[in-house]
Structure 1
């Protein structure tokens, strides 16, 4: 069957600036991986929360360890799907390798834009702008339409796209200069913040208005229409689900938040009752490995048991996701797959439901998590108050007014981010004065800075600006 989407275009290695690297053993997506893995954006993830913020122990996962795990699972999915597609003559050997590499790098970078304090940090930023716009004398009153919804719907996915296309500066103004296929794959929500689909998906969107031009070029190159996901995006999202659901529960067991013996039996009973044949072999393998560990007197029985569960559960989910992708292949390749998530429509959907129940019951409602998120609320709101109130409408050049409060705050912002704010991507020139920038660009500068902070740095800067702690 002829499909609307074609892998030859979907695996487009074109970039904003053509690569000058020699054609060696690496494909274009291996090059993407190599150029980002050493970046400051990746390093910052080691001090950004996955579920449990500001952890002092070295076991609990951060965004960095989560991203590494998603990358590994996504690559596995890519290898499995690629092999089947090659055998079905939908791909050649080169494309088979490229799909795995594409998913590997997409998994690594998929959370780069998440602000401090995890997904709750996104909500704090959205709420701050919503409240500010409702004020009678709001300093944001001249921002309307898509420029307004970029902030009231602020999304880490759109920020990831902005980091990769602009903020991760090296030698020019193309950010990390990623391939179009990788940028298309990380667009989990391929529409802007003013699109009706954004409302349907609870405010989720894939790119800011400031990046709409490059999105148009990506679509032209890959053959993707507005609102249509790259097929690899479905696999990336499945890998993300598999990684965080199992890992968050493992972390909670280690922290003694989840009574694992009791909950494992509950999961086992629930799944065996509903889908016995699907899960029978998984539980047999888990119980067998648990018995081996017990006979060998391996300590921390609950931790060993949940790790055996994680390995078997992820293995089952991978097989189910591959089956779902291939059974709906024609729909996916014609941009007609209505179910957003493969896992939700696969034979492992009940397993995912059980894992989400556990996470909601124990992880998100944990007092430590709630307390630190409330602290994060004060931190992010406090930083937005300071920076937006001083810089959004300032009429004097902060670079020449270092003695003024707004000048001091401006100097605290990363020089790279300030440079991007001053750069005119249409005229390809740099403005010589901050007062010549639009309010929209100034707000982007502030959200670039605050969302790029690690959890620890955000707390540190907030305390310093409040005079609670001196530098």
Structure 2
């Protein structure tokens, strides 16, 4: 792979678009993402810890902005090293940093309410639908090809994110936000469809999940071709691509932020003692050379160690990228940067404590139970609405004229029915609607359709 192609500033579905003076593509990408409604909704979506009374617990927006900051640092440090080695043209380090920053900002834009348990809940609901219908029932599942079932049974926020930025936003024009090819490539941790991931016989880090629905595959292929990402076409499978090198930096920025900052949140809400958190952070930073300031509280010390740990983790990720540069550029690197970095052992311990203490915390467990019930209730109600639309021949005006209750329901939630013409597009419209909800809005809609709100 070649950086001249990999940093391509041309735009999806608009490759002839000319950047304005002093407004490079990566800055425009950042601004389009930042000012979009789906990004704004991240402020009311759970990160890991449930939305809490404490102001300093992370939600998806804060996590995304912090990840973009770390990503910018990773990009500029790697870029400067590559310029010094003559492997990147001078000045392009700023393009690299800006591209990683924009891709990090958008990396969670497709995540549903209630954190990763929301993804699991949507997938579980569709799995039940497919089991109940098995191709013969009356639900939407009956009309969805077997090849497309995995898109819903294993609902994936990464693929939903690509759908948002490439199709749903900016008045649903061709290319959606029309982000640059470079940003889209850096964003795509899993450059494959669900079918390709399921069929793959080659072990590869980019095939662990899927990053595009079949409906957006052609859009991603446009970007991948422009970027020169190596394309794989298995004889008996579906095509997929090797990762863009900057996707490894985006992944590392995400890993650094959620592993380290989840710990700080755990101390804030009382799931972990601050002294335990301080000890875990010292695994990354090493013990400070001087005694702590006697005026510094334990919370202050935790904050200081968190900052030091992030800086140390950034340095280790940069070193890991440079150490594995040739394999990354060849598309053969098959791991995460933090997993092969000098901080791999410390990060493995962070993962263990998260699994044992944070992800099983009482309040998080309660949220997952409530969230599943909330999403199932909403999916049931609006699934029935889409079945009514199907009975009207997918004619929205006819449904609005013939079904007063569902006409009111559509107006009440401003349900977007553009492009719905069959069971497959209806199922995606259903997941667009539900996954786009904030935690609080999901609760509000659940209450409304359950008759618990009278206003």
TM-score normalised over the length of structure 1: 0.87
Out of 208, 213, 220, which is 1:208 matched to? 213
1:348 to 333, 343, 361: 343
Would you say the 8 A contact 1:145–1:194 is kept in 2?
no
Asked whether the equivalents of residues 398 and 406 of structure 1 are also in contact (C-alpha less than 8 Å), the reply is: no
Query: Could you tell me which of 58, 65, 71 is aligned with 1:74?
Result: 71
Cα distance per residue 1:354-408 (max 9 Å; x no partner): 2112222222111111111111011111111111133146311343333444433
* Partner-residue secondary structure (3-state), 1:291: coil
Q: Structure 1: 5+ residue runs without aligned partners? A: 272-278, 423-436
The answer to whether residue 5 in structure 2 is matched with residue 12 in structure 1 is no
Q: 1:442 to 1:197 in 2, by over 3 A?
A: closer
Displacement of 1:31 in angstroms is 1.2
Structure 2 residue aligned with 1:303, among 273, 289, 299? 299
Question: CA shift at 1:309, angstroms?
Answer: 1.8
Displacement of 1:266 in angstroms is 6.6
Structure 2 matches for 1:266-285, cutoff 5 A? Answer: 271=283, 282-285=285-288
SS at match of 2:241: coil
- Alignment match, 1:276: none
1:22 to 1:229, Cα distance in 2 relative to 1, 3 A: closer
Listed as ranges, the gaps of 5+ residues in structure 2 are 232-239
1:172 alignment partner in structure 2: 173
Cα distance in 1 for partners of 2:18, 2:117 equals 40
2:315 is matched with 319
Alignment match of 2:329 (pick from 330, 333, 336)? 333
The answer to whether the Cα contact below 8 Å between 2:263 and 2:277 also exists between their aligned partners in 1 is no
Number of equivalenced pairs: 432
1:113 aligns with: 110
**C-alpha spacing 1:188/1:414, structure 2 compared with 1 (3 Å):** farther
Q: Distance in 1 between matches of 2:209 and 2:303?
A: 32
Q: Is the 8 A contact 1:54 1:456 kept in 2?
A: no
Could you tell me whether the CA contact under 8 Å between 1:399 and 1:411 is conserved in 2?
no
Please list the CA deviations of residues 317-350 of structure 1 after superposition, one character each: whole Å capped at 9, or x if unmatched: 11111111111100000001021x1100111001
Question: Which secondary structure state, in structure 1, belongs to the residue aligned with residue 417 of structure 2?
Answer: helix
* 1:386 and 2:381 are equivalent in the alignment: yes
Distance (whole Å) between structure 2 residues aligned to residue 356 and residue 93 of structure 1 = 38
Please give the alpha-carbon distance, in whole angstroms, between the structure 2 residues aligned to 1:265 and 1:219.
43
The 5-angstrom pairing of residues 359-398 of structure 1 reads 359-392=354-387, 394-396=390-392, 397-398=395-396
1:127 alignment partner, one of 124, 129, 150: 124
Distance 2:25 2:16 in 1: 9
Distance (Å, rounded) in 2 between the aligned partners of 1:418 and 1:398:
8
Aligned residue among 93, 100, 104 for 2:101: 104
**Residues 392 and 10 from structure 1, CA distance in 2 versus in 1: closer, same or farther, beyond 3 angstroms?**
farther
Aligned twin of 1:188: 189
**Alignment partner, residue 449 of structure 1:** 433
Are 2:29 and 2:179, in contact at CA under 8 Å, matched by a contact in 1?
Answer: yes
Give distance in 1, aligned partners of 2:208 and 2:314.
29
The alignment status of 1:94 with 2:91, answered yes or no, reads yes
Query: What residue number does 2:234 align with?
Result: none
Q: Secondary structure at the match of 1:305?
A: helix
Equivalent in 232, 237, 244 of residue 258 of structure 2 = 244
Cα 1:319–1:337 change in 2 (3 A) is: same
Q: 1:227 Cα shift?
A: 3.1
Cα drift, residue 23 of structure 1: 3.2
Give yes or no for contact 2:197–2:209 (8 Å, CA) kept in 1. Answer: no
State whether residues 19 and 25 of structure 2, in contact with CA within 8 Å, keep that contact through their aligned partners in structure 1: no
Cα 1:24–1:456 shift into 2, 3 Å: same
SS of equivalent residue, structure 2 residue 47? coil
8 Å CA contact retained: 1:132, 1:138? no
Question: For structure 1, which segment, 17-26 or 236-245, has the greater mean C-alpha deviation from structure 2 after superposition?
Answer: 17-26
461-470 vs 355-364, which deviates more?
355-364
CA contact (8 A) 1:192 1:205 kept: yes
Does structure 2 retain, via aligned residues, the 8 Å contact 1:267–1:354?
A: no
Instruction: Please point out which of 20, 23, 28 is paired with 1:23.
Output: 20
CA distance in 2, matches of 1:260, 1:154: 36
